[in-house]
Structure 1
Amino acid sequence: MSTDQPQGEDPFRKPPPQGDLPPYHGPEGGGPYGAGPGGGPYGAGPGGGPYGAGPGGPYGAGGGEYGYGPPDPLAGMPPLGNRFKRLVARIIDGLIVSIPVSLVFSAFTWHHWNPETDQAKTTGLSILISVVYFVYEGLMLTARGQTVGKMAMNIRVAMLDNGAIPAGNPGWTRAAVYNLPQIVPCCGFVFWLVNVLWCTWDQPYHQCVHDKAAKTVVVSTR
């Protein structure tokens, strides 16, 4: 598995932060597309809110209620991905992987396998699904920052510092931390559960553990 960055220009990559500007800031402190000084997501107005109006809104560059204090960590970023959409995307991807893998596995083992009594083969199927999901997710994230489920739900995975596609190590790290612990008996499920629930209380980026490991964030594409 290559860790090299893609040769073509990443359409999602944002200019690197300058000075104390928060992630996703465009040139001259603008929004995610660099339009306007200190604006909102569309760069309109100095230190604006979602559309650049007023000081220091959810995507404006300003700090506290009156634009003072530390910069808003979400300034210039696209809206964070909705947690429900993230869950639905995982369900879609899980079905895409598990159904064909289960069918193929059953075709090769049907005359030997009773899922109610043969725990070893049931465990083998679970491990196989986790490994295939890991490869599927790693390839999709490093190629375009989205799996099929995320494309369907209009969300994507981006590098926290600049909004780029998580090509190379970050994409594979994210996929590994989500999928591979599940193959560890007993404690693997506990880690997976804590991992996926982490985004429900994490602030300000709503990251799961696999996001923190890869330094990524899930954002909306529209």
Structure 2
Amino acid sequence: MPEPRPQEQPRPRTAEQARPAAGGWAQQVQQLAQQQPAAAASSSEVAAPWKPPKDDPFLRAAQEQGRPASLGRRLAARLIDSVVLGAVVSAVAVPLWAKAVAHIDDKVAQAKQSGETVTVWLLDGTTGTYLAIVVGVLLVAGVLLEALPTAKWGRTLGKRLCGTRVLDIESHDTPRFGAALRRWLVYGGLGALGIGVIGALWCVFDRPWRQCWHDKAGRTFVAAGKR
């Protein structure tokens, strides 16, 4: 009776035999990686880059809005605004000036009648009150005619007639009320100190935005715009 053969034990699979499964996945990844640059190259050849039209109305409007206005238009606009502001202030200042002159004449006449050497002060409680009223009217009129229109529309009456407008130096948009008020106060203060002409003529030499001193204080510039 033949002896039974011992059953052969299954041999363990080596790393080389187990590699084909992993190798197939790696080959797929490598093939995909090779296909992506080719697909990207083919798509770049097919898709042409977008080019803006030669005549872009939005770009043209933005360039026109941000271009500094000519000095002639700026000067004409300032003259118109100065005439309007001067007319408003003069309507109050002229009658008060006549009253102040009459008051000083009365003080001089009383000093002569006293027969004594008396110092007549031009500025007293009466004339000081008149002066304060004129300064107050100037400030209020400047806010109403200069600061508010600049903050709301970017332009005063003179700038509207001459086709210019005030813009913020950074956003190229209408300035805020604080900037418009600061711009006006610096302009009026320099004028009161007697150096307003120097501050206004600074735009002749300033580059690139042609700013005056009050423009630099308000961080604004005067741009060319439609009427």
TM-score by length of 2: 0.56
* CA-CA distance at 1:42 after TM superposition: 5.0
- Number of paired residues? 153
1:164 aligns with 2:164: no
Residue 111 (structure 1) shift: 4.1
1:104 is aligned with what amino acid?
A: V
Q: Which residue among 22, 35, 59 is the counterpart of 1:43?
A: 59
- Matched ranges for 1:57-206 at <5 A: 78-113=66-101, 124=131, 127=135, 130-135=138-143, 136-183=145-192, 188-190=193-195, 192-206=196-210
SS in 2 for 1:219: strand
Instruction: Indicate the percent of aligned positions where both proteins have the same amino acid.
Output: 25
Distance in 2, matches of 1:211 and 1:42, equals: 27
CA contact (8 A) 1:97 1:132 kept: no
* Structure (1 or 2) with the greater helix fraction: 2
Shift in alpha-carbon separation, 1:215–1:41, aligned structure 2, 3 A: farther
- Matched-pair contact (CA < 8 Å) for 2:85–2:141: yes
Q: Distance in 2 between matches of 1:181 and 1:91?
A: 16
Conserved? CA contact 1:130–1:182, under 8 Å: no
Contact kept in structure 2, 1:155 and 1:220, CA below 8 Å: yes
Amino acid across the alignment from 1:139: L
Partner Cα distance (2:56, 2:209) in 1: 17
Q: In the TM superposition, what is the alpha-carbon distance from 1:79 to its structure 2 partner? A: 2.6
Q: Provide the rounded CA distance (Å) in 2 between the counterparts of 1:150 and 1:158.
A: 12
State which structure, 1 or 2, has the greater radius of gyration over its C-alpha atoms: 2
C-alpha spacing 1:216/1:36, structure 2 compared with 1 (3 Å): farther
Following the alignment from structure 2 to structure 1, what is the Cα–Cα distance between the partners of residues 210 and 56? 20
Higher relative contact order (CA 8 A, sep 6+): 2
Cα distance in 2 for partners of 1:205, 1:78 equals: 9
In angstroms, what is the RMSD of aligned CA positions? 3.6
- After superposition, the C-alpha distances for 1:41-85 in whole angstroms (9 at most, x for unaligned) are 8537xxxxxx9xxxxxxx9xxxxxxxxxxxxxxx67533111111
What code does the residue aligned with 1:110 have?
A
The TM-score, its normalising length taken from structure 1, stands at: 0.57
1:215 aligns with 2:219: yes
1:196 Cα offset (Å): 0.2
Deviation at 1:93, TM superposition (A): 0.7
2:23 aligns to what?
none
Task: State the distance in 2 between where 1:38 and 1:167 align.
Answer: 35
- Give distance in 2, aligned partners of 1:177 and 1:81: 21
